[in-house]
Amino acid sequence: MQQQTSGKPPYLATQWLEFVDPSAGASNAALAAIYGPETGILDERRALLRRVLTQFLERFGDRPVRICRAPGRINLRGMHVDTHGGYLNLMTHQREVVVAAAAAQDDTCTFANIEARFEEVTFRICDHAAQPAFHGDWMQFIAHPAARAAQGHWINYPQGAVLRAQHAFPGEALRGIDAVVGSDLPRGTALSSSHALCLATLTAMLAHNGKALGADDTILAVRDAEWYTGARSGTSDQAAMVLGRRGELVNVALLAEDFSTASAQRLAFPGELRVLVVNSFTERSLSGAQLVTYTQNRFAYSMALSILRHELEAMGLGEDLAAGMDRLSRVTPDALGGMPALYAVLKRIPEDCSLDAMKDRYVLPDFDSAYERYFGDVPEAQRPKRIGLRGPLLFGIAESERARHFFPVLARGTFEKAGRLMSVGHDGDRVTQPDGTPYTWDAGDAALDRLAAANTPIEHCPGAYGASSPVLDTLVDTALAAGALGASLTGGGIAGSVLALCRAQDADVIAQALCQRMAGEDYATLAKRPQPLSEEDLAHAVLVNHAPHAGGELNLPS
C-alpha cells in the first residue's frame, strides 16, 4: 500500500472493504509499512477504515473511491514559535483523519461524517469561486464574512481545503467530490485534528482532479485552509503531517514569509525512549477570550521582533545585523555576541506596553496588518489594548534554542538533558505551581542582570508565555513525580494534551500514575467535569506515541 496524491485509478468501496477485513492477510504488510507492525495499532486503523467505507456505501453506493488520510501530530519541543521562524521537533501520531471520496459529476461537494452530530453539507465550488475576491489574495478572500459557513461549523475545514485547492489552480474548474469523513483523533486535544481534516480533504481533491502540490506548497495550502475557518495557526502541524516518516523525529525551523523545509533534519526516535500522549479531557475551542489568549503572544512576537531590531540599531550594532534578526531561530547568543549581550538587548524590550504607546515609540510598518491578521475576527470589545512584550519574546528566543538543542541532545543519547529542555519549556507556559499556587517567572531588569552575571544559557530560561492551565500543569507534575525524564504541554496549550518523555521500562508506571491522578473526583473538579472520568475514558487517556508515515492517498498494492 503506497501513498501518493494521484496515479492509480480508484478502487470500488467494496474492494477496499475486502482489503481491510482482518482476515485479509495481504493487508498486514501494506498497513504495517505505514503504521508499524503492532497488532493493536493495525486493528484500530482497520476499524476506522471500515467505519468510513461502510458509511460511504450506505450514503453514496459502491463507487470508485479514493482513501486519503492524515495523522495527528505532536511537537516535543518548539511550542508557539512556528509562526515566527523558531525551531520545531515534530512527530506524527497514530490516530488520524480518513476521507473516502468519489468524484462528483460537477463542482458540487458533499461531505458526510461518521459522527451523527456533524450534519451532512453540500456546496458548489463555483458559488465561492465566483466572488471577485477569490481570484486575488487568499487573505483578502477569507476576510469576507460571506466566504464561509457559520463560525464554528465543522464544514468550514473541508470547505476551506476544497476552495484552497481550487485557488491553487486558477483558470481550471476543479471537479467536486462526494466524501465521508472519519476520525479517531480526539477533537480539541492539541493533536491537530483540524489540520488533519484539511490535509486529508486537500489530498482527496487533488487526487481526483489529477493535480499535485509539492511538500512546501501543501503545507502552506493546509495552513490557509485552517485560516479560512478563522484560526491563525502556524505551519508546524501541517509540516509534521507532510514531512513525517514512520518512527522518526523531524527538526526544522519554518517561517511563512520565507518558507522552506529544505533544512529539515531527521532522527530515528531512540528505541530506549517512549513518549506518552496524555489526553487531559479538557478541550480548547479557539473563539472569544480563548482566541485572544491564543493569538496575542504571537502578535507580541511580531511586534517584539521589530522592536528588537530597532534596539539593536540604537545600540550601534549595525543595520545588517539588525535586519538579520527577522525570525526567532536567528536571535541566538552567538549572533549577538554572547549570552550577556543577549540579556542586555532583552532589557531594552518593554515588559509590557499599550498599543498606542507602542505605535508612538517605534516605527512598526506591519502593526496594523498584523493586528488585523491576528484579531480581525475578534469582537472589538475583546481585542487587547495592552500587550506583554519581553516575557513572550524571551520565551520565544529561549524556546527556539531549546528546540534547536533538543535534536542533537537526543541524538547523542543524553536523554536527561532532553527531558530537562521539555520541562523548562513547560515552565514558560506554566500558570500554577505543583502545590496549586499561581506561578510567575520574573522577566524584570534585575532578574535579567542576575542571569547575565551567571552566564545562564538562554535555553534554561523559561520565559513567560503562559499558555498552560492548572489541569495541564497537574498532569506535567504528576508525570515528573512518577519518573518521567521531562514533560510539557503540546500544541497551542490552554487545554488538550500533555507529553511525557520517559525510558521504555518506566512507561507503564508513569502511565498508571497519570491514570490514577485523572480518575479522582478532585481531577474532575479541576477539569470542570460534571463527574470523574469513566473507565473507558481512562483506557484511552494515556497512549504511547507510535509515529506513522506522513499523510497521503492510500493505494492497494499491485
pLDDT at 371: 87
**Its pTM surpasses 0.75:** yes
pLDDT at 1: 38
- Pick left, alpha or beta for residue 312 (phi over 0 → left; psi -120 to 50 → alpha; otherwise beta): alpha
Q: How far is CA 454 from CA 47, 333, 341, in A?
A: 56, 14, 13
For 319-342, the pLDDT digits (tens) are 889 899 999 999 999 999 999 999
Which DSSP string do the residues of 295-337 spell out, in sequence order? HHHHHHHHHHHHHHHHHHHHTT--HHHHHH--SGGG--HHHHT
User: Under a CB-based contact definition with an 8 Å cutoff, are residues 111 and 96 in contact?
Assistant: no
3-state secondary structure of 541: coil
Q: How far apart are CA 187 and CA 207, in angstroms?
A: 26
Percent of the chain clearing pLDDT 90 (strictly above): 72
pLDDT at 285: 60
Q: How many residues does the chain have?
A: 558
Where are the chain's structural domains? 2-71+95-230+550-555, 288-519
Q: How far apart are CA 443 and CA 491, in angstroms?
A: 24
CATH superfamily of 288-519: GHMP kinase, C-terminal domain (3.30.70.890)
Cα-based angle 152, 158, 164 (whole degrees, multiple of 5): 110
Percent of the chain clearing pLDDT 70 (strictly above): 94
For 540-549, the pLDDT digits (tens) are 999 999 999 9
Mean pLDDT for 428-454 is: 94
pLDDT at 531: 94
Q: How far apart are CA 524 and CA 229, in angstroms?
A: 31
- Same CATH topology for 2-71+95-230+550-555 and 288-519: the answer is no
Mean pLDDT for 277-295 is: 75
3-state secondary structure of 543: strand
Q: For 415, how many CA atoms within 13 A lie in the half-sphere containing its CB?
A: 17
Taking alpha carbons only, the member of 121, 115, 118, 119 closest to residue 162 is 121
Q: Is the dihedral of CA 34, 184, 45, 214 positive or negative?
A: negative
User: Under a CB-based contact definition with an 8 Å cutoff, are residues 38 and 86 in contact?
Assistant: no
Q: How far apart are CA 41 and CA 47, in angstroms?
A: 10
For 365-388, the pLDDT digits (tens) are 888 888 887 787 778 888 888 899
For 185-237, the pLDDT digits (tens) are 988 777 888 999 999 999 999 999 999 999 999 999 999 999 888 777 889 99
- Which residue has 519518573 as its cell numbers? 483
User: Under a CB-based contact definition with an 8 Å cutoff, are residues 142 and 227 in contact?
Assistant: yes
Pairing of strands 273-279, 542-544: antiparallel
Whether the predicted pLDDT of 7 surpasses 70: no
State the pLDDT confidence band at 180, using cuts at 50, 70 and 90. Answer: very high
Q: How far is CA 362 from CA 307, 370, 383, 387, in A?
A: 7, 15, 21, 14
**Lowest model confidence (mean pLDDT) among 21-25, 120-124, 276-280, 432-436:** 21-25
Q: Per the structure block, which three cell numbers stand in for 437?
A: 499556587
For 492-523, the pLDDT digits (tens) are 888 889 999 999 999 999 999 999 999 999 99
Whether the predicted pLDDT of 444 surpasses 60: yes
State the pLDDT confidence band at 290, using cuts at 50, 70 and 90. Answer: low
Architecture of the domain defined by 2-71+95-230+550-555:
2-Layer Sandwich (3.30)
Q: How far apart are CA 146 and CA 101, in angstroms?
A: 26
